[in-house]
Amino acid sequence: MLQVETNSTLTAADAARVQYVPYFRLCPSPFNVRKREPTGIEPLAETIDGRGLMQNLVVHTMKGRGKQPKLGVCAGQRRLAALDLLFSQGRITKDYQVPVLIVSEGEAVAASLIENREREPMCLADEAVAFRLLVDEGKPVIHVAALFKVSEMVVRRALKIANLAPALLDLMREDKLDYEQAKVLALADDHATQESVWNNAINGWQRRPSELRAAITKAEIDARDNALAKFVGLDAYEAAGGFVRRDLFSDGENAGYIADADLLHRLATDRLIEVSQSVQSEGWSWVETRTRGDANELIRYGPVHSTTRKPTKNEKAELAALVATRDAAHMALNAYYDEDGGEDEARYDRLGTAVDVATHAVDQYAERFEVFTPEDMQRAGAFVYLDDDGFVTIERGLIRPEERAAARGGDARPVTATEQSGKPARMTPLHNEKLCRRLTAHRTAAIQTELAKHPNVALAVLMSRMIPVVFEEHYERQYPEHAIEVDLRTSRGALVKHADDMADSVAWKEIEAERAKWMRMLPARADALLPWLLDQGSDIQSNLFAFCVAATVDGIDGSDHAHAVNSLADALSVDLSYYWKPTRASYFDHVSKSRIADLLREHVSPQAAAEVQGMKKDAAAAAAEVRMADSGWLPEVLENRAVPECLSYAWADDDADGEAGDAGDDADGLTGEDGDATGDDEGLAEAA
């Protein structure tokens, strides 16, 4: 929001003494108590040029000769600087008339001190109303934005605040309603709803922005979190006549609330029917659509087997481009996590969406090469539905339960969702993303500490990253996960960012002590590094090399799954229970009381679990720390030592064509033991 410079308070007698003098008589006063260089002169100059000088300056007569002595400006330094700028640009003349209040030299210091001490930023409510008055006068938003050197969005947001009920604006002026609350109340366009929501929020917690937002939008759909809204898009929904309650204060792509759920559902269904008709034309016996996938329903359907055809060279190039896009999106998101700055929700949403879109494109690629026989297609069908992110998912080659049972003589073995779709079923994670990042940061620090002690392992780790780059043609279709960054970006800042208790850990203290030792030995100038390194013995070089490689290890992850960093943990035999202890800060403050009770029941005793049931959360966490801090227990995230499978994009008949670099396909399960094609849908492995 803009800040407007206020004028000194004038009495009636002062107002009568205000007079106009030509600009050329004005000069800075030695009695102005503000010595810092003024700021924001350009927008103020634009305002004066467009609206005129609406506030007088306070001046005193300067000593000197001449019929018209100079007038020193003791209050109004920024306005004088703005006039100077306009004069230098030829936009006013030396005779431009300026309103001034002339005071004596004795009053000059007092006037300057009063204005500078008593000046305060303009109230946000008053500023918003002022913007609305300009618009009501007929000024377009773009004109107001240009006049005050702000974006159009700033003006539109101010107008949204100005639309609050007068009683709420008065509360803002009295500091009884803050800006964050005002932004949420502005979601409602009618004053009655705004006042009702605020007045019904009796308790303090009910007036939190999140609670106020829930009260206003309780019957509406948040477009940012709804799969149907993501699939249809706000533009298409509005084009069909739907109303969107816009959230102008969010930078999210789908920032708004949908009022007509029936219209949204109808639009989504119509689009899904179009997709299903295209799938039906492939020759399936039946095709059904759902706006939401149901694993319990799909599990009842049996699959028919498929084969995987070999793609063309152009299709291989398309795959490489899709994988490169996906990897770039992941790198951008990881770089955001590594930054030390504050959280940027809008940027996080954009980066996360880019990862989802790119990953979905790679996943869909493999389905293009899945081939079914005409006989199987005549007895099977397909499901078309939306996943949780609003992407269309097509499950082909499904046999209806009754036909499946008949084919097996009534013995229908349940098929898991993973078996029939090739995708893992969605499960609620035991630990949330934030806690996973905290725990895996400690895992990373422990592995770094151990790796820094083993130069031979560090060399092997780095070489394993370099070799696929140097011998690109040999590994061109393989996309393993790695535990270190090849662009030499350390994970030091990320460790502290995701684990605020890192500084107290054993691993961190060892790492920082080692870092301090090397910093004392290293030359101060970067251009002296190479000569210095060449002068050192092999022991110094190898140990420093190990430390630097260790510093690039990045095992921080927002979920509990197989991770490449575990290969290092196994190679180094890292005992994570030595480096991590279950304390309040490290774990118990970040999980529910029921989780604490379950852990005590399993690892201490049922009596210990019963004791914490009647405690408050803080007391329960403290009690759990006392009982388990030295138990050696590790959470599932740290116990998980699984390593991702190295999957390759390769096809079963590549060897028949004699192409180089495909000899290792057997190890990836893409061909049979005898080198023959497997003939099923495993022929094309999907990227992890």
Q: What average pLDDT does this structure show over 49-68? A: 80
Distances (CA, A) of 37 to 34, 75, 523: 8, 14, 41
Residue 478 gets which letter from DSSP? Answer: B
Query: What pLDDT sits at residue 104?
Result: 81
Q: Same domain, yes or no, for 294 and 348?
A: yes
Q: Same domain, yes or no, for 29 and 113?
A: yes
Residue whose structure tokens are 């779709």: 421
Q: Is residue 610 part of a domain?
A: no
Q: Same domain, yes or no, for 503 and 461?
A: yes
Query: What pLDDT sits at residue 83?
Result: 92
Query: What pLDDT sits at residue 396?
Result: 86
Angle 272-273-279 from CA coordinates, rounded to 5°: 90
Query: What pLDDT sits at residue 468?
Result: 61
Which amino acid is present at 664?
G
Q: What average pLDDT does this structure show over 380-404? A: 84
Q: Is residue 208 part of a domain?
A: no
Q: What average pLDDT does this structure show over 530-551? A: 81
Q: What average pLDDT does this structure show over 205-229? A: 78
Q: Is residue 565 part of a domain?
A: yes
Look at 267 and 68; give whichever has higher pLDDT: 267
Q: Same domain, yes or no, for 449 and 478?
A: yes
The domain of 495 spans 433-580+634-639
Q: Is residue 677 part of a domain?
A: no
Q: Same domain, yes or no, for 285 and 381?
A: yes
> How many domains does the chain divide into?
3
Q: What average pLDDT does this structure show over 635-645? A: 86
Q: Which of 10-24, 236-250, 308-322, 611-625 has the lowest mean pLDDT?
A: 10-24
- Average per-residue pLDDT for the chain: 77
Query: What pLDDT sits at residue 86?
Result: 92
CATH number, position 94: 3.90.1530.10
Residue 25 gets which letter from DSSP? Answer: G
Residue 312 gets which letter from DSSP? Answer: P
Q: Which of 75, 92, 118 is the last residue of a domain?
A: 118
Question: Is pLDDT at 35 greater than 80 in this prediction?
Answer: no
CB 2 within 8 A of CB 149: no
Give me the phi and psi of 18, to 5 degrees please.
Answer: -65, 130
Look at 283 and 131; give whichever has higher pLDDT: 283
Q: Same domain, yes or no, for 348 and 471?
A: no
Question: Is pLDDT at 117 greater than 60 in this prediction?
Answer: no
Q: Same domain, yes or no, for 471 and 347?
A: no
Distances (CA, A) of 575 to 390, 443, 567, 582: 42, 10, 13, 14
Listed in sequence order, the residues at least 6 apart from 587 whose beta carbon sits closer than 8 Å to its beta carbon are 435, 439, 635
Nearest of 369, 219, 231 to residue 289 by alpha carbon? 231
Beta bridge partners of 286: 381
Beta bridge partners of 383: 288, 395
For residue 352, give both structure tokens. Answer: 């996360």
Identify each DSSP E strand in 161-320 by its residue range: 221-222, 244-246, 256-258, 286-290, 302-303, 307-308
Q: Which stretch, 200-214, 240-254, 405-419, 590-604, has highest mean pLDDT?
A: 590-604
Look at 469 and 160; give whichever has higher pLDDT: 160
Question: pTM (2 decimals)?
Answer: 0.38
Q: Which stretch, 94-103, 104-113, 309-318, 492-501, has highest mean pLDDT?
A: 94-103
How far is it, in rounded angstroms, from Cα 461 to Cα 466? Answer: 9
Q: Is 12 exposed, middle or buried (0-12, 13-18, 19+ CB in 10 A)?
A: exposed
Q: Is residue 470 part of a domain?
A: yes
Query: What pLDDT sits at residue 65?
Result: 66
Query: What pLDDT sits at residue 652?
Result: 43
Query: What pLDDT sits at residue 43?
Result: 81
Q: What average pLDDT does this structure show over 590-614? A: 86
Q: Same domain, yes or no, for 321 and 460?
A: no
Q: Same domain, yes or no, for 445 and 384?
A: no
Tens of pLDDT along 265-314? Answer: 888 888 888 888 988 898 899 998 888 877 777 778 878 877 777 778 88
Q: What average pLDDT does this structure show over 136-163? A: 82
Look at 341 and 84; give whichever has higher pLDDT: 84
Question: Is pLDDT at 594 greater than 80 in this prediction?
Answer: yes
Residue 678 confidence class, pLDDT cut points 50, 70, 90: very low
Q: Is 264 exposed, middle or buried (0-12, 13-18, 19+ CB in 10 A)?
A: buried
Query: What pLDDT sits at residue 22?
Result: 92
Q: Which of 87, 118, 149 is the last residue of a domain?
A: 118
Q: What average pLDDT does this structure show over 305-325? A: 81
Q: Which percentage of the chain shows pLDDT scores above 90?
A: 5
Q: Same domain, yes or no, for 325 and 410?
A: yes
Helix axes 166-173 and 191-200, enclosed angle (nearest 10): 50
Helix/strand/coil percentages in the chain, nearest 5: 55, 10, 40
Q: Is residue 153 part of a domain?
A: no
Question: Is pLDDT at 369 greater than 70 in this prediction?
Answer: yes
Q: Is residue 444 part of a domain?
A: yes
For residue 619, give both structure tokens. Answer: 């007391």
Q: What average pLDDT does this structure show over 83-97? A: 91
In the three-class reduction of DSSP (H, G, I as helix; E, B as strand; rest coil), residue 598 is classed as helix
Question: Is pLDDT at 355 greater than 60 in this prediction?
Answer: yes
Nearest of 43, 54, 39 to residue 150 by alpha carbon? 43
Q: Same domain, yes or no, for 417 and 446?
A: no
What secondary structure does DSSP assign to 385-396, as a single string? EE-TTS-EEEEE
Tens of pLDDT along 428-473? Answer: 567 888 888 888 888 888 888 888 888 877 777 776 665 665 445 4
How far is it, in rounded angstroms, from Cα 135 to Cα 145? Answer: 11
How many angstroms from the chain centroid is the CA of residue 512? 29
How far is it, in rounded angstroms, from Cα 456 to Cα 454? Answer: 6
First to last CA, the chain: 46
How far is it, in rounded angstroms, from Cα 83 to Cα 567? Answer: 69
Q: Is residue 441 part of a domain?
A: yes
Q: Which of 421, 452, 487 is the last residue of a domain?
A: 421
Q: Same domain, yes or no, for 480 and 377?
A: no
Q: What average pLDDT does this structure show over 531-544? A: 80
Look at 65 and 257; give whichever has higher pLDDT: 257
How far is it, in rounded angstroms, from Cα 32 to Cα 30? Answer: 6
Question: Is pLDDT at 89 greater than 80 in this prediction?
Answer: yes
